Amino acid sequence: MDPAILQRVRSTPLFSGLTDAQLRCIEPGEVIESPAGMVLVSEGERSAFFFVVLEGEVRLTRTYDRQTVLMGAIKPGNYTGETTLLLDIPWLATARVARSARLFRLGEDDFWHMLSTCRAVAREIFHSAANKVRNMEGYSQQREKLASLGTLAAGLAHELNNPAAAAHRAAAHLQQTTDKVQSLLCQLSKVLDPDHWQHLLAASQTALERLATASALDHLERSDRAETIASRLEIHGVAASWELAPTFVAAGLDSAWLEELTGKLPAASHADALGWLEARINLKSLLSQVEQSTGRIAELVKAVKSYSYMDQSPMQEVDIHEGIESTLTMLGHKLKNVTLIRSFDRSVPRILAYGSELNQVWTNLIDNAIHAMNGTGKICVGTCIEDNQLLVEIVDNGAGISPEVQAHLFEPFFTTKSVGTGTGLGLIISNRIIADRHGGEIEFESKPGETRFKVRLPVNRHELPSPQPDSHLTKPST
Protein backbone atom coordinates (compact mmCIF):
# COMPACT_ATOMS: atom_id res chain seq x y z
CA MET A 1 0.00 0.00 0.00
CA ASP A 2 1.26 3.50 -0.82
CA PRO A 3 2.90 4.98 2.33
CA ALA A 4 0.80 8.17 2.07
CA ILE A 5 -2.40 6.15 1.83
CA LEU A 6 -1.26 3.89 4.66
CA GLN A 7 -0.64 6.93 6.80
CA ARG A 8 -4.15 8.22 5.96
CA VAL A 9 -5.66 4.89 7.00
CA ARG A 10 -3.53 4.84 10.15
CA SER A 11 -4.87 8.27 11.12
CA THR A 12 -8.43 6.96 11.50
CA PRO A 13 -9.56 6.41 15.12
CA LEU A 14 -9.78 2.64 14.67
CA PHE A 15 -6.15 2.23 13.64
CA SER A 16 -4.52 5.24 15.31
CA GLY A 17 -3.13 3.22 18.19
CA LEU A 18 -1.41 0.55 16.10
CA THR A 19 2.33 0.10 16.28
CA ASP A 20 4.42 -0.13 13.13
CA ALA A 21 4.54 -3.89 13.53
CA GLN A 22 0.77 -4.15 13.91
CA LEU A 23 0.21 -2.07 10.78
CA ARG A 24 1.15 -5.12 8.74
CA CYS A 25 -2.30 -6.55 9.51
CA ILE A 26 -3.98 -3.92 7.35
CA GLU A 27 -1.43 -3.83 4.52
CA PRO A 28 -3.45 -6.33 2.40
CA GLY A 29 -6.30 -3.82 2.24
CA GLU A 30 -6.93 -1.48 -0.66
CA VAL A 31 -8.29 2.01 -1.12
CA ILE A 32 -11.13 2.45 -3.63
CA GLU A 33 -12.80 5.52 -5.11
CA SER A 34 -16.64 5.41 -5.12
CA PRO A 35 -18.82 7.99 -6.90
CA ALA A 36 -21.96 9.41 -5.30
CA GLY A 37 -24.96 7.15 -5.75
CA MET A 38 -22.94 3.94 -5.96
CA VAL A 39 -24.37 1.01 -3.99
CA LEU A 40 -21.62 -0.80 -2.12
CA VAL A 41 -23.87 -3.58 -0.85
CA SER A 42 -27.64 -4.09 -1.05
CA GLU A 43 -29.84 -5.18 1.84
CA GLY A 44 -30.04 -8.97 1.97
CA GLU A 45 -26.80 -9.47 0.02
CA ARG A 46 -23.62 -11.01 1.36
CA SER A 47 -20.34 -9.14 1.16
CA ALA A 48 -16.82 -10.26 2.03
CA PHE A 49 -15.54 -6.78 2.80
CA PHE A 50 -14.97 -4.49 5.76
CA PHE A 51 -15.08 -0.77 4.91
CA VAL A 52 -13.51 2.29 6.54
CA VAL A 53 -14.57 5.68 5.19
CA LEU A 54 -11.60 7.97 4.57
CA GLU A 55 -13.41 10.71 2.64
CA GLY A 56 -17.04 11.40 1.70
CA GLU A 57 -20.07 9.73 3.24
CA VAL A 58 -21.89 6.38 3.06
CA ARG A 59 -25.52 6.10 4.10
CA LEU A 60 -27.24 2.98 5.39
CA THR A 61 -30.93 2.47 4.63
CA ARG A 62 -33.27 -0.39 5.49
CA THR A 63 -36.63 -1.22 3.97
CA TYR A 64 -39.59 -1.75 6.30
CA ASP A 65 -42.89 -2.69 4.69
CA ARG A 66 -41.78 -1.15 1.37
CA GLN A 67 -40.71 2.07 3.09
CA THR A 68 -37.04 3.08 2.99
CA VAL A 69 -35.73 4.29 6.36
CA LEU A 70 -32.36 5.97 6.92
CA MET A 71 -30.52 4.03 9.60
CA GLY A 72 -27.40 6.17 9.78
CA ALA A 73 -24.51 7.80 7.94
CA ILE A 74 -20.87 6.65 7.94
CA LYS A 75 -18.64 9.71 8.17
CA PRO A 76 -14.85 9.86 7.58
CA GLY A 77 -13.06 7.80 10.22
CA ASN A 78 -16.00 5.46 10.84
CA TYR A 79 -16.47 1.96 9.48
CA THR A 80 -19.10 -0.60 8.50
CA GLY A 81 -19.44 -4.25 7.49
CA GLU A 82 -17.98 -5.76 10.66
CA THR A 83 -21.36 -7.02 11.94
CA THR A 84 -22.18 -9.11 8.90
CA LEU A 85 -18.69 -10.63 8.82
CA LEU A 86 -18.73 -11.45 12.53
CA LEU A 87 -22.23 -12.98 12.43
CA ASP A 88 -21.89 -14.43 8.91
CA ILE A 89 -25.24 -12.98 7.86
CA PRO A 90 -26.43 -10.92 4.88
CA TRP A 91 -26.26 -7.15 5.15
CA LEU A 92 -29.13 -5.77 7.19
CA ALA A 93 -29.15 -2.49 5.26
CA THR A 94 -28.20 -1.05 1.89
CA ALA A 95 -24.91 0.87 1.88
CA ARG A 96 -24.98 3.68 -0.68
CA VAL A 97 -22.36 6.38 -1.29
CA ALA A 98 -24.01 9.74 -0.52
CA ARG A 99 -21.00 11.91 -1.42
CA SER A 100 -18.05 10.82 -3.55
CA ALA A 101 -16.01 8.69 -1.20
CA ARG A 102 -12.58 7.19 -0.72
CA LEU A 103 -12.84 3.91 1.18
CA PHE A 104 -10.37 1.53 2.75
CA ARG A 105 -11.52 -2.02 2.02
CA LEU A 106 -10.34 -5.18 3.71
CA GLY A 107 -11.29 -8.69 2.58
CA GLU A 108 -12.88 -11.26 4.89
CA ASP A 109 -9.77 -13.40 5.50
CA ASP A 110 -7.65 -10.31 6.13
CA PHE A 111 -10.37 -8.94 8.44
CA TRP A 112 -10.21 -12.05 10.63
CA HIS A 113 -6.41 -11.97 10.57
CA MET A 114 -6.55 -8.34 11.74
CA LEU A 115 -8.79 -9.30 14.67
CA SER A 116 -6.46 -12.13 15.69
CA THR A 117 -3.31 -10.01 15.63
CA CYS A 118 -4.56 -6.57 16.79
CA ARG A 119 -6.24 -6.91 20.17
CA ALA A 120 -7.11 -3.21 20.49
CA VAL A 121 -8.78 -3.18 17.06
CA ALA A 122 -10.64 -6.42 17.84
CA ARG A 123 -11.89 -5.01 21.15
CA GLU A 124 -13.18 -1.85 19.48
CA ILE A 125 -14.85 -3.75 16.62
CA PHE A 126 -16.53 -6.28 18.93
CA HIS A 127 -17.79 -3.48 21.17
CA SER A 128 -19.09 -1.51 18.17
CA ALA A 129 -20.73 -4.57 16.60
CA ALA A 130 -22.48 -5.47 19.85
CA ASN A 131 -23.89 -1.94 20.15
CA LYS A 132 -25.00 -1.88 16.52
CA VAL A 133 -26.77 -5.23 16.75
CA ARG A 134 -28.47 -4.24 20.00
CA ASN A 135 -29.57 -0.89 18.62
CA MET A 136 -30.63 -2.37 15.29
CA GLU A 137 -32.63 -5.10 17.03
CA GLY A 138 -34.29 -2.60 19.36
CA TYR A 139 -35.16 -0.26 16.52
CA SER A 140 -36.33 -3.12 14.31
CA GLN A 141 -38.41 -4.49 17.17
CA GLN A 142 -40.15 -1.15 17.47
CA ARG A 143 -40.67 -1.08 13.72
CA GLU A 144 -42.02 -4.64 13.91
CA LYS A 145 -44.60 -3.53 16.47
CA LEU A 146 -45.52 -0.50 14.35
CA ALA A 147 -45.73 -2.62 11.20
CA SER A 148 -48.02 -5.11 12.96
CA LEU A 149 -50.12 -2.26 14.26
CA GLY A 150 -50.32 -0.76 10.77
CA THR A 151 -51.36 -4.11 9.28
CA LEU A 152 -54.02 -4.60 11.93
CA ALA A 153 -55.22 -1.01 11.54
CA ALA A 154 -55.54 -1.40 7.77
CA GLY A 155 -57.47 -4.64 8.19
CA LEU A 156 -59.66 -3.15 10.89
CA ALA A 157 -60.44 -0.14 8.70
CA HIS A 158 -61.47 -2.53 5.93
CA GLU A 159 -63.59 -4.58 8.30
CA LEU A 160 -65.26 -1.48 9.75
CA ASN A 161 -65.89 0.09 6.37
CA ASN A 162 -68.28 -2.61 5.18
CA PRO A 163 -70.79 -2.48 8.08
CA ALA A 164 -70.45 1.30 8.31
CA ALA A 165 -71.27 1.69 4.62
CA ALA A 166 -74.17 -0.76 4.93
CA ALA A 167 -75.59 1.15 7.92
CA HIS A 168 -75.22 4.44 6.03
CA ARG A 169 -77.08 3.11 2.98
CA ALA A 170 -79.83 1.61 5.14
CA ALA A 171 -80.24 4.86 7.08
CA ALA A 172 -80.64 6.82 3.82
CA HIS A 173 -83.26 4.36 2.56
CA LEU A 174 -85.04 4.48 5.91
CA GLN A 175 -85.79 8.16 5.42
CA GLN A 176 -87.20 7.59 1.94
CA THR A 177 -89.25 4.59 3.05
CA THR A 178 -90.63 6.41 6.11
CA ASP A 179 -91.78 9.28 3.89
CA LYS A 180 -93.41 6.76 1.56
CA VAL A 181 -95.27 5.07 4.44
CA GLN A 182 -96.62 8.40 5.71
CA SER A 183 -97.74 9.47 2.24
CA LEU A 184 -99.58 6.20 1.57
CA LEU A 185 -101.26 6.32 4.99
CA CYS A 186 -102.75 9.68 4.05
CA GLN A 187 -104.10 8.22 0.81
CA LEU A 188 -105.48 5.08 2.49
CA SER A 189 -107.22 7.03 5.22
CA LYS A 190 -109.60 8.36 2.55
CA VAL A 191 -110.81 4.96 1.35
CA LEU A 192 -110.44 2.45 4.19
CA ASP A 193 -112.87 1.96 7.04
CA PRO A 194 -111.91 0.44 10.45
CA ASP A 195 -112.59 -3.14 9.29
CA HIS A 196 -110.33 -2.67 6.28
CA TRP A 197 -107.59 -1.26 8.49
CA GLN A 198 -107.88 -4.27 10.75
CA HIS A 199 -107.34 -6.64 7.80
CA LEU A 200 -104.39 -4.61 6.49
CA LEU A 201 -102.66 -4.35 9.87
CA ALA A 202 -103.12 -8.06 10.54
CA ALA A 203 -101.66 -8.85 7.10
CA SER A 204 -98.75 -6.54 7.86
CA GLN A 205 -97.99 -8.35 11.12
CA THR A 206 -98.14 -11.74 9.39
CA ALA A 207 -95.82 -10.52 6.62
CA LEU A 208 -93.25 -9.29 9.15
CA GLU A 209 -93.35 -12.61 10.98
CA ARG A 210 -92.81 -14.45 7.71
CA LEU A 211 -89.92 -12.11 6.86
CA ALA A 212 -88.14 -13.12 10.06
CA THR A 213 -88.31 -16.83 9.19
CA ALA A 214 -88.19 -16.74 5.37
CA SER A 215 -85.64 -19.12 3.84
CA ALA A 216 -83.09 -17.93 1.30
CA LEU A 217 -83.86 -18.65 -2.36
CA ASP A 218 -81.49 -19.01 -5.27
CA HIS A 219 -81.49 -16.29 -7.90
CA LEU A 220 -83.54 -18.23 -10.46
CA GLU A 221 -86.31 -19.23 -8.04
CA ARG A 222 -86.47 -15.73 -6.61
CA SER A 223 -86.80 -14.28 -10.10
CA ASP A 224 -89.55 -16.73 -11.09
CA ARG A 225 -91.63 -16.01 -7.98
CA ALA A 226 -91.23 -12.25 -8.41
CA GLU A 227 -92.42 -12.50 -12.02
CA THR A 228 -95.51 -14.51 -10.99
CA ILE A 229 -96.44 -12.02 -8.26
CA ALA A 230 -95.86 -8.99 -10.49
CA SER A 231 -98.11 -10.43 -13.20
CA ARG A 232 -100.94 -11.01 -10.73
CA LEU A 233 -100.61 -7.53 -9.24
CA GLU A 234 -100.86 -5.94 -12.67
CA ILE A 235 -104.31 -7.50 -13.03
CA HIS A 236 -105.35 -5.51 -9.96
CA GLY A 237 -104.11 -2.32 -11.54
CA VAL A 238 -100.92 -2.01 -9.44
CA ALA A 239 -98.66 -0.02 -11.74
CA ALA A 240 -95.50 -0.50 -9.64
CA SER A 241 -95.95 -4.28 -9.38
CA TRP A 242 -92.43 -5.06 -10.66
CA GLU A 243 -90.93 -2.86 -7.93
CA LEU A 244 -93.04 -4.38 -5.16
CA ALA A 245 -92.73 -8.06 -6.10
CA PRO A 246 -89.09 -8.70 -4.97
CA THR A 247 -89.89 -7.46 -1.45
CA PHE A 248 -92.93 -9.74 -1.19
CA VAL A 249 -90.84 -12.70 -2.36
CA ALA A 250 -88.15 -11.91 0.26
CA ALA A 251 -90.87 -12.00 2.94
CA GLY A 252 -92.10 -15.41 1.80
CA LEU A 253 -95.41 -14.12 0.39
CA ASP A 254 -97.00 -15.60 -2.71
CA SER A 255 -99.74 -14.67 -5.16
CA ALA A 256 -102.46 -16.57 -3.30
CA TRP A 257 -101.72 -14.76 -0.04
CA LEU A 258 -101.78 -11.36 -1.75
CA GLU A 259 -105.00 -12.27 -3.59
CA GLU A 260 -106.63 -13.11 -0.27
CA LEU A 261 -105.56 -9.75 1.16
CA THR A 262 -106.75 -7.67 -1.77
CA GLY A 263 -110.05 -9.53 -1.68
CA LYS A 264 -110.76 -7.96 1.74
CA LEU A 265 -110.01 -4.40 0.60
CA PRO A 266 -111.76 -1.94 -1.73
CA ALA A 267 -110.49 -2.14 -5.31
CA ALA A 268 -109.56 1.54 -5.24
CA SER A 269 -107.12 0.92 -2.38
CA HIS A 270 -105.24 -2.05 -3.82
CA ALA A 271 -102.27 -0.14 -5.26
CA ASP A 272 -101.77 2.06 -2.16
CA ALA A 273 -102.41 -0.81 0.29
CA LEU A 274 -99.85 -3.08 -1.39
CA GLY A 275 -97.41 -0.18 -1.66
CA TRP A 276 -97.83 0.53 2.06
CA LEU A 277 -97.35 -3.17 2.91
CA GLU A 278 -94.18 -3.33 0.82
CA ALA A 279 -92.85 -0.18 2.54
CA ARG A 280 -93.60 -1.68 5.99
CA ILE A 281 -91.66 -4.83 5.09
CA ASN A 282 -88.80 -2.69 3.78
CA LEU A 283 -88.72 -0.67 6.98
CA LYS A 284 -88.26 -3.85 8.97
CA SER A 285 -85.53 -5.09 6.63
CA LEU A 286 -83.68 -1.78 6.75
CA LEU A 287 -83.85 -1.64 10.53
CA SER A 288 -82.44 -5.18 10.66
CA GLN A 289 -79.59 -4.11 8.38
CA VAL A 290 -78.79 -1.16 10.64
CA GLU A 291 -78.92 -3.43 13.71
CA GLN A 292 -76.65 -6.04 12.11
CA SER A 293 -74.18 -3.45 10.82
CA THR A 294 -73.90 -1.57 14.08
CA GLY A 295 -73.68 -4.88 15.92
CA ARG A 296 -70.73 -5.86 13.72
CA ILE A 297 -69.05 -2.51 14.43
CA ALA A 298 -69.59 -3.02 18.16
CA GLU A 299 -68.12 -6.52 17.85
CA LEU A 300 -65.00 -5.16 16.14
CA VAL A 301 -64.57 -2.42 18.74
CA LYS A 302 -64.91 -5.04 21.48
CA ALA A 303 -62.26 -7.15 19.72
CA VAL A 304 -59.88 -4.18 19.64
CA LYS A 305 -60.36 -3.53 23.35
CA SER A 306 -59.93 -7.21 24.11
CA TYR A 307 -56.86 -7.51 21.88
CA SER A 308 -55.11 -4.54 23.46
CA TYR A 309 -56.47 -5.07 26.98
CA MET A 310 -57.46 -1.43 26.93
CA ASP A 311 -58.21 0.05 30.37
CA GLN A 312 -57.04 -3.16 32.02
CA SER A 313 -54.02 -4.16 34.07
CA PRO A 314 -51.15 -5.43 31.86
CA MET A 315 -50.85 -8.59 33.96
CA GLN A 316 -53.97 -10.45 34.99
CA GLU A 317 -55.74 -13.78 34.77
CA VAL A 318 -56.73 -14.25 31.15
CA ASP A 319 -58.89 -16.64 29.17
CA ILE A 320 -56.58 -17.76 26.40
CA HIS A 321 -59.50 -18.31 24.03
CA GLU A 322 -60.68 -14.71 24.29
CA GLY A 323 -57.26 -13.50 23.20
CA ILE A 324 -57.12 -15.93 20.28
CA GLU A 325 -60.64 -15.02 19.16
CA SER A 326 -59.92 -11.27 19.28
CA THR A 327 -56.74 -11.89 17.27
CA LEU A 328 -58.67 -13.86 14.65
CA THR A 329 -61.18 -11.03 14.43
CA MET A 330 -58.38 -8.50 13.95
CA LEU A 331 -56.87 -10.67 11.20
CA GLY A 332 -60.25 -11.35 9.60
CA HIS A 333 -59.35 -9.54 6.37
CA LYS A 334 -56.44 -11.94 5.83
CA LEU A 335 -58.53 -15.03 6.59
CA LYS A 336 -61.11 -14.51 3.82
CA ASN A 337 -59.77 -17.44 1.77
CA VAL A 338 -58.62 -19.57 4.70
CA THR A 339 -60.53 -22.48 6.19
CA LEU A 340 -60.25 -21.91 9.92
CA ILE A 341 -60.71 -24.83 12.32
CA ARG A 342 -61.02 -24.27 16.06
CA SER A 343 -60.19 -27.18 18.33
CA PHE A 344 -60.54 -25.60 21.75
CA ASP A 345 -60.64 -27.31 25.10
CA ARG A 346 -62.89 -24.82 26.85
CA SER A 347 -62.16 -26.40 30.22
CA VAL A 348 -58.57 -25.13 30.33
CA PRO A 349 -58.10 -22.73 33.27
CA ARG A 350 -57.42 -19.02 33.11
CA ILE A 351 -53.73 -18.21 33.50
CA LEU A 352 -51.76 -15.29 34.87
CA ALA A 353 -50.32 -13.51 31.83
CA TYR A 354 -49.62 -10.29 29.98
CA GLY A 355 -52.64 -10.59 27.73
CA SER A 356 -51.73 -8.00 25.09
CA GLU A 357 -48.26 -9.54 24.69
CA LEU A 358 -49.71 -13.02 24.21
CA ASN A 359 -51.99 -11.56 21.54
CA GLN A 360 -48.90 -10.29 19.76
CA VAL A 361 -47.59 -13.87 19.73
CA TRP A 362 -50.85 -15.21 18.28
CA THR A 363 -50.74 -12.43 15.67
CA ASN A 364 -47.19 -13.34 14.61
CA LEU A 365 -47.82 -17.08 14.43
CA ILE A 366 -51.17 -16.87 12.64
CA ASP A 367 -49.89 -14.22 10.22
CA ASN A 368 -46.86 -16.42 9.44
CA ALA A 369 -49.20 -19.36 8.80
CA ILE A 370 -51.28 -17.27 6.39
CA HIS A 371 -48.13 -16.14 4.61
CA ALA A 372 -46.86 -19.74 4.38
CA MET A 373 -50.05 -20.69 2.50
CA ASN A 374 -50.04 -17.56 0.30
CA GLY A 375 -53.35 -16.57 1.87
CA THR A 376 -55.22 -19.73 0.83
CA GLY A 377 -55.42 -22.99 2.73
CA LYS A 378 -56.38 -24.43 6.11
CA ILE A 379 -55.34 -23.33 9.59
CA CYS A 380 -56.20 -25.17 12.77
CA VAL A 381 -55.93 -23.45 16.14
CA GLY A 382 -56.21 -25.73 19.15
CA THR A 383 -55.82 -25.64 22.92
CA CYS A 384 -55.48 -28.30 25.59
CA ILE A 385 -53.71 -29.19 28.83
CA GLU A 386 -50.59 -31.33 28.40
CA ASP A 387 -48.09 -32.18 31.14
CA ASN A 388 -49.64 -29.57 33.42
CA GLN A 389 -49.04 -26.90 30.80
CA LEU A 390 -51.48 -24.99 28.65
CA LEU A 391 -50.70 -25.94 25.04
CA VAL A 392 -51.70 -23.74 22.10
CA GLU A 393 -51.14 -25.25 18.65
CA ILE A 394 -51.31 -23.37 15.35
CA VAL A 395 -51.13 -25.67 12.33
CA ASP A 396 -51.16 -24.76 8.64
CA ASN A 397 -51.12 -26.91 5.51
CA GLY A 398 -48.60 -24.78 3.62
CA ALA A 399 -45.50 -26.02 1.84
CA GLY A 400 -43.59 -26.49 5.08
CA ILE A 401 -40.25 -25.14 6.31
CA SER A 402 -37.13 -26.61 4.74
CA PRO A 403 -34.50 -28.11 7.12
CA GLU A 404 -32.03 -25.41 6.04
CA VAL A 405 -34.44 -22.66 7.11
CA GLN A 406 -35.48 -24.43 10.32
CA ALA A 407 -31.93 -24.17 11.66
CA HIS A 408 -32.09 -20.35 11.48
CA LEU A 409 -35.74 -19.75 12.34
CA PHE A 410 -35.12 -18.13 15.73
CA GLU A 411 -32.06 -16.11 14.70
CA PRO A 412 -32.32 -12.31 14.79
CA PHE A 413 -33.13 -10.67 11.45
CA PHE A 414 -33.61 -14.01 9.68
CA THR A 415 -36.69 -13.99 7.47
CA THR A 416 -38.02 -16.00 4.56
CA LYS A 417 -40.12 -13.07 3.38
CA SER A 418 -38.95 -10.81 0.59
CA VAL A 419 -36.79 -7.78 1.43
CA GLY A 420 -38.90 -5.01 2.88
CA THR A 421 -41.84 -7.18 3.97
CA GLY A 422 -40.38 -8.78 7.08
CA THR A 423 -38.01 -7.70 9.82
CA GLY A 424 -36.90 -11.17 10.84
CA LEU A 425 -37.86 -10.45 14.46
CA GLY A 426 -41.41 -11.79 14.70
CA LEU A 427 -40.41 -15.19 16.08
CA ILE A 428 -37.63 -13.70 18.21
CA ILE A 429 -40.11 -11.33 19.87
CA SER A 430 -42.66 -14.13 20.27
CA ASN A 431 -40.07 -16.43 21.84
CA ARG A 432 -38.99 -13.75 24.31
CA ILE A 433 -42.59 -13.05 25.29
CA ILE A 434 -43.31 -16.74 25.88
CA ALA A 435 -39.98 -17.77 27.43
CA ASP A 436 -38.73 -14.69 29.27
CA ARG A 437 -42.03 -13.07 30.21
CA HIS A 438 -44.17 -16.15 30.88
CA GLY A 439 -41.75 -19.00 31.61
CA GLY A 440 -43.01 -21.05 28.67
CA GLU A 441 -41.55 -22.27 25.40
CA ILE A 442 -42.23 -22.36 21.67
CA GLU A 443 -41.63 -25.52 19.64
CA PHE A 444 -42.29 -26.31 16.01
CA GLU A 445 -42.49 -29.28 13.68
CA SER A 446 -42.62 -28.98 9.93
CA LYS A 447 -42.93 -31.22 6.92
CA PRO A 448 -44.36 -30.66 3.44
CA GLY A 449 -48.05 -29.94 3.87
CA GLU A 450 -47.98 -29.33 7.62
CA THR A 451 -46.24 -26.87 9.92
CA ARG A 452 -47.14 -27.03 13.59
CA PHE A 453 -46.14 -24.40 16.16
CA LYS A 454 -46.65 -25.34 19.81
CA VAL A 455 -46.75 -22.72 22.53
CA ARG A 456 -46.52 -24.07 26.07
CA LEU A 457 -47.48 -21.87 29.01
CA PRO A 458 -47.32 -22.78 32.71
CA VAL A 459 -50.74 -23.15 34.28
CA ASN A 460 -49.82 -22.59 37.92
CA ARG A 461 -47.62 -19.52 38.00
CA HIS A 462 -48.36 -17.03 40.71
CA GLU A 463 -46.26 -14.12 39.51
CA LEU A 464 -44.56 -12.95 36.32
CA PRO A 465 -41.56 -10.71 35.67
CA SER A 466 -42.50 -7.03 35.92
CA PRO A 467 -42.70 -5.28 32.56
CA GLN A 468 -39.50 -3.43 31.76
CA PRO A 469 -39.34 -0.39 29.48
CA ASP A 470 -38.04 -1.21 26.01
CA SER A 471 -34.36 -0.37 25.77
CA HIS A 472 -32.29 0.66 22.78
CA LEU A 473 -35.31 1.87 20.84
CA THR A 474 -33.56 4.88 19.38
CA LYS A 475 -32.45 4.77 15.78
CA PRO A 476 -29.17 2.80 15.70
CA SER A 477 -26.05 4.86 15.23
CA THR A 478 -23.21 3.88 13.01
Residue 235 and residue 366 in one domain:
no
Residue 22 and residue 77 in one domain:
yes
Residue 279 and residue 160 in one domain:
yes
168: in domain: yes
Output the tens digit of pLDDT for each of the chain's 478 residues: 567 777 788 888 888 878 878 888 888 888 999 999 999 999 888 889 999 999 999 999 887 666 777 888 899 999 999 988 988 888 888 999 999 999 999 999 999 999 988 888 898 999 888 887 777 666 555 665 655 666 667 667 777 777 888 888 888 889 889 999 999 999 999 989 999 999 999 999 999 988 888 887 788 888 888 888 888 888 777 778 888 888 888 888 888 898 888 889 998 888 889 899 999 999 998 998 888 888 878 877 777 776 666 555 667 888 999 989 988 888 888 888 999 999 999 999 999 988 888 988 998 899 889 988 988 999 999 999 998 899 999 999 998 888 887 777 766 655 655 544 555 567 888 888 898 888 999 999 999 999 999 999 998 765 555 544 443 333 444 4
148: in domain: no
**HEC profile for the chain?**
CCHHHHHHHHCCCCCCCCCCCHHHHHCCCEEEEECCCCEEECCCCCCCEEEEEEEEEEEEEEEECCEEEEEEEECCCCEECHHHHHHCCCCCCEEEEEEEEEEEEEEHHHHHHHHHHCHHHHHHHHHHHHHHHHHHHHHHHHHHHHHHHHHHHHHHHHHHHHHHHHHHHHHHHHHHHHHHHHHHHHHHCCCCCHHHHHHHHHHHHHHHHHHHHCCCCCHHHHHHHHHHHHHHHHHCCCCCHHHHHHHHHHCCCCHHHHHHHHCCCCHHHHHHHHHHHHHHHHHHHHHHHHHHHHHHHHHHHHHHHHHHCCCCCCEEEECHHHHHHHHHHHCHHHCCCEEEEEECCCCCCCEEEEHHHHHHHHHHHHHHHHHHCCCCEEEEEEEEEECCEEEEEEEECCCCCCHHHHCCCCCCCCCCCCCCCCCCCHHHHHHHHHHHHHCCEEEEEEECCEEEEEEEEECCCCCCCCCCCCCCCCCCCC
341: in domain: yes
What is the number of structural domains in the chain?
A: 3
Residue 164 and residue 261 in one domain:
yes
Residue 257 and residue 329 in one domain:
no
Residue 319 and residue 294 in one domain:
no
Residue 171 and residue 261 in one domain:
yes
Residue 174 and residue 288 in one domain:
yes
463: in domain: no
Q: Which domain holds residue 81?
A: 3-117
Residue 262 and residue 366 in one domain:
no
Residue 249 and residue 323 in one domain:
no
Q: Which of 117, 145, 179 is the last residue of a domain?
A: 117
Residue 393 and residue 270 in one domain:
no
